[in-house]
Amino acid sequence: MPKIAVILVLISLSALTAAEQIVDKVLVDKSEETLYLLSGDSVVSEYSVSFGADPKGHKQKEGDENTNC
């Protein structure tokens, strides 16, 4: 399953479990390796995420081990 699909599944599941809170922002902090789901300024859920072998810098081409965020 592609990484983006996994993220979308997590977002969907979180929206179902936190029905009273609307998630209006997704924040990925690469330095903390954490994905945050936010409602306004409040964190609804957070998840550990992993990136390519060399996640620093911008993605240049497929297979360069960088993660474009």
Instruction: Report pTM.
Output: 0.55
Backbone φ and ψ of 55, nearest 5°: -75, -5
52 and 62 Cβ atoms separated by less than 8 Å = no
For 1-69, list the strands marked E by DSSP.
Answer: 25-29, 34-39, 42-48
Strand-pair category, 42-48 with 34-39:
antiparallel
pLDDT at 23: 85
- CB within 8 A of 2, min separation 6: which ones? none
Q: What is the pLDDT of residues 23-54, one digit of tens each?
A: 889 998 888 889 999 988 999 889 998 876 66
Q: Tell me the domain boundaries of the chain.
A: 3-48
What token pair was written down for 22? 């609307």
